[in-house]
Amino acid sequence: MFSIIGAVISGLIVGALARWFYIGDVEMSLPATILLGIGGSLLAGLVTTRGGRQFQRAGCLASILGAIALIFLGRMAGIGMPAG
């Protein structure tokens, strides 16, 4: 239970920092920001273990960079772009 709450809180912090550091306007809701932060942490964890068997928690900076990479990939794919 506490690990889920911790993942949500850290996801919110990492997602908010990634949105703040990303160049340009990033419009998304609070739940999307949390999911972005959790996804960034998972992406950074997968990259840092390089496919190894043991999954280790990525550092805060690596998590933020992973979330920024997800923002970039989402924009390249057109996900979350306003219709216009």
Buried b / exposed e over 28-46, threshold 16 CB at 10 Å, is eeeeebbbbbbbbbbbbbe
Say what the pLDDT of residue 58 is. Answer: 62
* CA distance readout (Å), 15 to 9, 23, 30, 52, 54: 10, 14, 9, 25, 24
- Position 83 in a domain: no
* Tens-place pLDDT, residues 36-52: 888 888 888 777 766 66
* Helix runs in 1-84, H state only: 2-21, 30-49, 60-77
Place of tokens 């993942």: 7
Domain that holds residue 21: 2-77
* Residue 82 counted as domain residue: no
The answer to whether residue 40 sits within a structural domain is yes
What is the predicted pLDDT for the residue at 83?
Answer: 47
pLDDT value of position 31: 82
Q: Is residue 68 one of the residues assigned to a domain? A: yes
Number of domains forming the structure of the chain: 1
Report yes or no on 48 lying in a domain: yes
